[in-house]
Amino acid sequence: MLDASPLICPIDGQSLRLDGQRLCCPSNHSFDIARQGYANLLPVHKKHSRDPGDSKNMVEARQRFLDSGIYNGISDQLNTLVQSVCGAYNNLTVLDAGCGEGFYLDRLAKTVSTGQTSLKAYGLDISKWAVQAACRRNKQISWLVASNAAIPCQPHTFDLIICAFGYHKLEWFNHLLKPHSHILLVEAGPEHLLELREVIYPEVRKSELSPFEHPDFTLLEHRLQTKDLTLNKQQLSDLLLMTPHLYRASHEGKEKAANLESLNVQIDVQFRLLSKIH
């Protein structure tokens, strides 16, 4: 169910209000609420392509992969870190910036709802296909089509912003956060899916995360999660299809991956929990 209270017009920045099945601002810019329940707040002049973000096929592949349970451990660690700070809140307002098809936010909402904290959750993604899938996953969350580069929400709205494997701009997140609130970044470590990368690329470079330094945030916690997994043929196909590797890999590399019946891979994920200083 869409809660419009923190939303602003992506064209002129004025507050939006619900008017039937539309969101309207005082200047009469209006945005339809789709029959699935989400709002598209990505103006045409900010799309940069006809169909930005993940394609329908990529979203369907990610749904199959995540629903198989392979990344449940990542989701569980995310939930644990959120619960470590949400005890300070009776009411927690959360944004998942780059929510994809809603896997992580849906599992978080269901976990937090069993405790004492009341959760108000928002998820946004630039892909309309991802947001449509998220709506089907959980209708109690407010879902938006929008960009992480210009999030259409009021300043000082959120207690927590989550960004899992997505593009993050801390200066913009800082603008949206309440005082003394938090950010949780979930990022791929240098060994993440290394074995698959060695199949599809002629040369693999490992990139270490830089030490965290930012004038507006302190690093509260830095956790690592590593795990060895065996992926079957369907899981390998979905994993390749759901990531940017699909576009970066050569034709030969993708053929080699397609011919594999299974592959042992390492999950290497880093979690950084940040606290806003002011």
25 is in an annotated binding site: yes
The amino acid present at 95, given as its one-letter code, is L
**Distance from chain centroid for Cα 59:** 13
Tokens encoding 146:
């929008």
CA–CA separation, 196 and 75 (whole Å):
22
What is the side-by-side strand order in the sheet with 262-276? 39-40, 142-145, 118-125, 91-97, 158-164, 177-188, 262-276, 217-232
Is residue 202 within 8 Å of residue 250, measured between CB atoms?
yes
Is residue 30 within 8 Å of residue 11, measured between CB atoms?
no
Q: List the Cα angle 6/34/146 in 5-degree steps.
A: 50
163 is in an annotated binding site: no
255 is in an annotated binding site: no
CA–CA separation, 210 and 155 (whole Å):
28
CA–CA separation, 122 and 143 (whole Å):
6
User: Residue 180, Cβ neighbours under 10 Å: how many?
Assistant: 11
71 is in an annotated binding site: yes
Can you give the length of the chain in residues? 278
CA–CA separation, 126 and 99 (whole Å):
9
37 is in an annotated binding site: no
Question: Smallest Cα–Cα separation from 146: which of 12, 42, 16?
Answer: 42
Residues annotated as binding site? 25, 29, 71, 101-102, 192
The annotated binding site for S-adenosyl-L-methionine is made up of 71, 101-102, 192
Residue ranges of the binding site for Zn(2+): 25, 29
